[in-house]
Amino acid sequence: MGTQKLAVYGGARAVPEGLIREWPPVDETDKDLVMKSLMGGKHAFGPNCEAFQKEYAKWNGSKYAIFTNSGTAALHMGVYACGIGAGDHVLVTSYSWSSSATCILHHNAVPIFVDIDFNTINMDVDKIEAAITPRTKAIIVVHLHGLAVNMEKVLAIAKKHKLKVIEDACQGHGAMFRGRKTGNWGDCGAFSFNQNKCLCSGEGGMFVTDNEQIYKDALKLWSFGETSTPSEKRDYHAYALGWMYRGSDLVAAFGRAQLAKIDGYIKIQNENAAVLNKRLKELKGLILPYEPERGMHNWYNYTSRIDMDAIGWKGNQQAMRNAVMKALQAEGVPVGVWQSFALPEMTVFRAKNAYGHGCPWSCNGAGDGVEYKIEDYPMAVKHTDTHFGMTTPLRAPNRTDVAEKVADAFIKVFENIDKIDPDKILK
């Protein structure tokens, strides 16, 4: 393919127009449940919400589940239910979606970042202990892009230092570590059902735990600080500071229909990823996603990086990454940059002023000695400068024939990588 003219320069595209179909597939089972909810008359926290909680808990292997309006809400519920409050420190990865760390701010606590392991893109578990401070109360581990963190190491450290463990499994539906699903290792876990997730209900999320007290405390934050849920007799009295994080019946109906198909979806994602891994493993300059033997990836996102040394690029790394990405897009591959900033680089943390007047860092000296210097997170920076990813080509209804065409496009671009000129492509 090295002699083929790249589509970005006017050549024919490798992936035919319209071949890649959108996620998620919607069929009659989705329509039936959603329409029954619509006509059922209970559109707030209704019967589908309660059924979704039970079904998700059973599927995930969790004792308790609470249906929320987002994964971010579920994370905040975990922070509160684990007893974290003003001035406490919580360890979190330096690279993730912002909610992984802003959920700590939601309860007036201070995030302490840990650099990533470049191979897994997850928190480097070997750097956790060095980040622990006298104020540290918990660790939020993020199973990023559907690859589980080494939870045995995390739990050993947590036990040694008496720390709570909150799993951000918002991208981790069905991903496993040593045969056990994410969300079931720590004290509690959070899942998201946003449009892009492996289980999509449009928006929404689920909080899970096996601990009855954590479950009860999470319910308080979830529903106005009350002690009774909408399905119980309520006195409408707020016993603690509360939010309104409940989901709605229509959304839950869609989620239930999709949950019934999720195992098939994850199987398809693994099959499509296997095609890409096999065909792209020898491409010079392309660093493929890493999958250790100890776990099962759900392939939420197929995240690749460019080895700038291998291709001999000495210029601006982001410019070359963006040019390669544009070349792939021209071939018909919907790649993009998922998160272009390491979290410690974001203004909300660097300014140390989330609530005004310097809070929460100014609370009882909670921010003393806490610095967010981006040079302290070299692996997160290296990743943000060189990565790009894609979701849709791996997802149902797309099958291995689509993955083969996507592989053709990658091969075409990387075999012609010496012809990619960022100054021409990005002008």
pLDDT (0 to 100) of residue 294: 81
Q: What is the pLDDT of residues 54-106, one digit of tens each?
A: 999 999 999 999 999 999 999 999 999 999 999 999 999 999 999 999 999 99
Q: What is the pLDDT of residues 223-244, one digit of tens each?
A: 876 766 676 766 777 767 788 9
- C-alpha dihedral sign at 20, 266, 264, 52: negative
Asked if residue 230 lies in contact with residue 162, where contact means CB atoms within 8 angstroms, the answer is no
At residue 58's C-alpha, the angle toward residues 171 and 68, to 5°, is 50
pLDDT (0 to 100) of residue 227: 65
Pairing mode of beta strands 64-68, 205-209: antiparallel
At 79, the amino acid letter reads V
Q: What is the pLDDT of residues 271-290, one digit of tens each?
A: 999 999 999 999 999 999 99
Q: What is the pLDDT of residues 307-350, one digit of tens each?
A: 999 999 999 999 999 999 999 999 999 999 999 999 999 999 99
Range list of H helices, 106-232: 128-131, 151-161, 212-222
Domains of the chain: 7-25+263-339+381-425 (3.90.1150.10), 28-260 (3.40.640.10)
Which has more pLDDT, 145 or 240? 145
423 exposed, middle or buried (CB, 10 Å; 0-12, 13-18, 19+)? exposed
pTM: 0.95
